Structure 1
């Protein structure tokens, strides 16, 4: 069961999200009304995922994200915000957020995003992934001589960039789940990336999420 802390300064929204997640089998271990409270509560409750609003009193969501990630490296932050402004999205990712959803997301999408974030995936609302993760060439400096992936590895990587799970990719390409995982691991090794979050960043930065 995924352990989650919900951080939002609007009580009705905060408690509503917590209740909806709990009804879907998510273990809501805490809620917090502002960024400062979230930073205090997180070490005591050690959630797998912090569902973080950005516009918070006392301490912004981005600053709270950075502090929580520094104190709890294994805890991931998924931003849930009304804002889709480019600066807000980029700021959240730079602070250490693993993903970003706008509040118009449905409950099924939210539960899926929380689960995938806990599993180490990067999750973004449609239209935001290319914007945010495309910055990583500039921010991290990708070298010009990168290893070549096979056509099948590139095909799998394109679907990873679109946000599909390994099982969904296997179904789409009529492959076994193990084969898809092998392609993912080969890509990680060739590109010298640590995990699926970094692989997703690379894929979207290469524009693979825009291909049909």
Structure 2
């Protein structure tokens, strides 16, 4: 990571020894661990203040679930990417996390090198899953895609154009530069698209676009 800014990471887990151990490992590997949190409420509160690039999220928290914490974090820090790090490999946990906005799911038995690679890939916008879980998620999205949808919202040409760039991971400023618009106009298009599609954040918006081949 020499010569480039360290990836800002927040670790959310209610077990102090595990949480501190992960934070220490990532710090030793050159990441900037900007914060830790031990529950749903604290995760959102801290994420709003520090705006981490990657959040390592446990699924079992004392005041709720990792899915709830994921939604809460993304509501206040929409540019963050959530990588679940959990002991659970249950189908329901994996799908709930992804539906809430997580972009990856790693089990806690992963080796340190795997965790380092996963955090780096997540920061770059890639989906990272423990082997076996990716197929589960893909199968669920294929099932959803086969379901009839007679009320698909109609997007304008400009909204569709902006959506394509969102799917590529571009920021509002970058999209504005490409389309010769103001960042505020781009944000207005993003907001309108979110409302039309009944989605909550850019992560869900990007996934929607990718699922429909708009990327």
Alignment match, 2:95:
90
Following TM superposition, where does structure 1 have runs of at least 4 consecutive aligned residues deviating by more than 2 angstroms? 137-143, 192-199
Deviation of the 1:67 alpha carbon = 1.4
Deviation of the 1:10 alpha carbon = 0.5
Structure 1 residues 140, 96: closer, same or farther in 2, change over 3 A? farther
Structure 2 residue ranges without an equivalent (≥5):
1-5, 149-160, 170-205
String of CA shifts for 1:157-179, please: whole Å, max 9, x gaps: xxxxxxxxxxxxxxxxxxxxxxx
Alignment match, 2:140:
135
String of CA shifts for 1:177-208, please: whole Å, max 9, x gaps: xxxxxxxxxxxx9xx79238759x75xxxxxx
Alignment match, 2:81:
76
Per the normalisation by structure 1, the TM-score is: 0.67
Distance 1:109 1:47 in 2: 20
Alignment match, 2:20:
15
Secondary structure, aligned partner of 1:134: helix
Structure 1 residues 70, 138: closer, same or farther in 2, change over 3 A? farther
Deviation of the 1:142 alpha carbon = 8.1
Deviation of the 1:70 alpha carbon = 2.0
String of CA shifts for 1:30-51, please: whole Å, max 9, x gaps: 0011121111100101100110
Number of aligned positions between the proteins: 155
Alignment match, 2:180:
none
Distance 1:118 1:140 in 2: 27
String of CA shifts for 1:56-102, please: whole Å, max 9, x gaps: 01132110101111222110100000000000000000000000000
Which of 35, 41, 45 in structure 1 is aligned with 2:46? 41
Structure 1 residue ranges without an equivalent (≥5):
144-188, 203-212
Alignment match, 1:195:
168
Distance 1:136 1:71 in 2: 26
Which of 63, 66, 71 in structure 2 is aligned with 1:58? 63
Distance 2:75 2:44 in 1: 10
Distance 1:142 1:113 in 2: 32
Asked if structure 1 preserves the Cα contact closer than 8 Å seen for 2:40 and 2:72, the reply is no
Per the normalisation by structure 2, the TM-score is: 0.67
Alignment root-mean-square deviation, CA: 2.4
Secondary structure, aligned partner of 1:135: helix
Aligned pairs (5 A) from 1:165-184? none
